[in-house]
A and B are shown apart, each in its own frame.
Chain A
Amino acid sequence: MAFKEIDLNMGPQHPSTHGVLRLKLSVDNEVVLRVEPVLGYLHRGMEKLWENLTYKQIVPLTDRLDYLASLSNNLGYVLAVEKLAGIEVPKRAQYIRVVLAELQRLASHLAWAGFMANDIGAMTVLLYGFEAREDVLDIFEEYCGARLTVHGIRIGGVVHDLDAALVSRIRAVLKAIPKRLQDIRTLLDENRIWKERTVGVGLITAGDAVGYGLTGPALRASGVEWDMRKDIPYSSYGDFAFDVPLGQNSDVYDRYIVRLEEICQSIRIVGQALDGLPSGEFSAKVPRVLKVPPGEVFHTIEAPKGVLGFYVKSNGTDKPERVKMKSPSFINLQSLERMCIGHLFSDVVGILGSLDIVLGEIDK
């Protein structure tokens, strides 16, 4: 073929850039030479917006960052503010938060499995993943009335108590999910086409992964054991026994396996949290107008997509002076070029999918 090196604009309108990401690709035939992500198509000025809102009013806006895991964003922000304001959260609230956050991780990973498989062409898995995710979203609707932008975690605690009916419903859903997961795994795990598309694709060494600041399941697929829930436990995560699934080959296939394993671990954690749910208040007493003493704090949690950090600086009023967010998708996207170079154009789609990015979080 006669032509050499063409520039290809993938996005912002493209079926598999997970939103409005634009990738400037240089390809030689189909071999990728350069990848340059162009961001900002979904920029809403979140961080500036937060400076004009009270601490409490910011929480529903964090829902809109990683809209596939809104509760994890709530949790990350709320923990940072509580740390700065010195609010002691009751043990029951901490457990309910763990239940919610792990359910959210389940939902996020199930949606990811669907998107990822759809990118590689297995569109049926998309529907299976979403069907399973729907059950988790139904729990959220039952718990606080919203499915996607949940706004379930408040400063000082959570919005509602977990009653017995809901607990038994969560247990029923947790029991049903492994079955649906098994369908996905039968379709993909051993499938020769899936393996050809994923094994050995998008490699990144452990050293490079750490160097690029890769976090979350993508990092753990490279064999680096780094999970904030284990290493710097927050919100009583230390009370629960769970494993951190690790990969060896740091390819797309391992990222897929690690995420599916994490779903099983999340089910374990939720089960333990429901068993050991302590009695007590589900929210601490927080003044109606929350004034946070001057100072600054940085707090990180393990969101489904990676390490999510919030930096909050207070000047003593009821509004923060500055809130800065360290979003895992944004940082994980950096390593895309490293993983893609030399692969075929089709693999860019798969690798991008394996990073599990959400544009709401990247563009903020």
Chain B
Amino acid sequence: MNRLGRFLKSFFLVDILQGLWVTLRIYFSPKVTVQYPEQIKEPAPRFRGILRLHRDERGEPLCIACKACQRACGTNCFDIEGKKGEGAKVMRPVKFDWTLERCSFCGFCVEVCPTNAIRFSREFRLTGLDRAGLLFDLPDMYLAGEDLQKHLCAGCRRGG
């Protein structure tokens, strides 16, 4: 009986028809595609996008040039120099170079930062057509949104 059943199943192409049924069902079911430039799938809140320096609510920079991030970094992305201004209590960075092309987005710098100055943004568009756009100095580290895109595309016609 079992063998007969198997033979009948095979003769009437049951396996083939089952497969065709699955593809036909998916054909009519909703699709998962996100049509990128028009629809954007928002990255998760913890998304590890481009690194950005932050200021406190008074507009003062949070970074104290302690170089903890520079030491934690495994790929030597950072080159930081700090200086204490006249009468200032804390150091401020005078040079803060970050190389996007070396960054592996591991998150060590963000974790070690004592003042929470350097954080990941949710910016996921990291494309630049020019190498200069991938180098960030101190003012560049505060860029966001379209300004950031312009910086990344510095040197390319669209950005200029």
B-contacting residues of A (Cβ < 8 Å)? 53-54, 56-61, 124, 128, 131, 134, 138, 141-146, 149, 151, 159-160, 183, 186-187, 190-192, 288
Contact B46 A143 (CB under 8 A): yes
Contact B16 A191 (CB under 8 A): yes
CA distance A56 to B72 in the complex (A): 9
Which interface class (under 10, 10 to 19, 20 to 34, 35 or more) fits B? 20 to 34
Known A-B contacts A134-B32, A160-B46; A191 and B108 likewise in contact (beta carbons under 8 Å): no
CA distance A183 to B18 in the complex (A): 10
A145 partner residues in chain B, CB cutoff 8 A? 43-44, 46-48, 107, 120
A134 partner residues in chain B, CB cutoff 8 A? 32
B79 close to chain A: CB less than 8 A: no
11 example contacts (A-B, Cβ-Cβ < 8 A) are as follows A57-B72, A58-B74, A59-B106, A60-B74, A60-B104, A141-B43, A144-B48, A160-B46, A187-B22, A190-B18, A288-B112
B105 close to chain A: CB less than 8 A: yes
Contact A57 B74 (CB under 8 A): yes
Contact A141 B15 (CB under 8 A): no
Contact A183 B15 (CB under 8 A): no
Contact B74 A53 (CB under 8 A): yes
Contact A146 B74 (CB under 8 A): no
B23 close to chain A: CB less than 8 A: yes
CA distance A63 to B152 in the complex (A): 27
A-contacting residues of B (Cβ < 8 Å)? 10, 14-16, 18-19, 21-23, 26, 32, 43-48, 72, 74, 104-108, 111-112, 120
Known A-B contacts A145-B48, A146-B105; A192 and B32 likewise in contact (beta carbons under 8 Å): no
A190 partner residues in chain B, CB cutoff 8 A? 14-15, 18
CA distance A54 to B112 in the complex (A): 15
Q: Kindly list the 10 A-B residue pairs having the minimum CB-CB distance in the complex, ordered from nearest.
A: A57-B74, A60-B106, A145-B48, A145-B46, A190-B15, A141-B44, A142-B44, A145-B47, A187-B19, A191-B15
Contact A183 B26 (CB under 8 A): yes
Which of chain B's residues has its CB closest to A195's CB? B15
Contact A186 B120 (CB under 8 A): no
Return the contact of A57 from the options B10, B19, B44, B108 (Cβ within 8 A).
Answer: B108
A150 to chain B, nearest CB (A): 10
**Most chain A beta-carbon neighbours within 10 Å: one of B10, B44, B47:** B44
A159 to chain B, nearest CB (A): 7
Contact B15 A61 (CB under 8 A): no
B107 partner residues in chain A, CB cutoff 8 A? 144-145, 151, 159
CA distance A146 to B107 in the complex (A): 10
A183 partner residues in chain B, CB cutoff 8 A? 22, 26
Contact A141 B47 (CB under 8 A): yes
Which of chain B's residues has its CB closest to A159's CB? B107
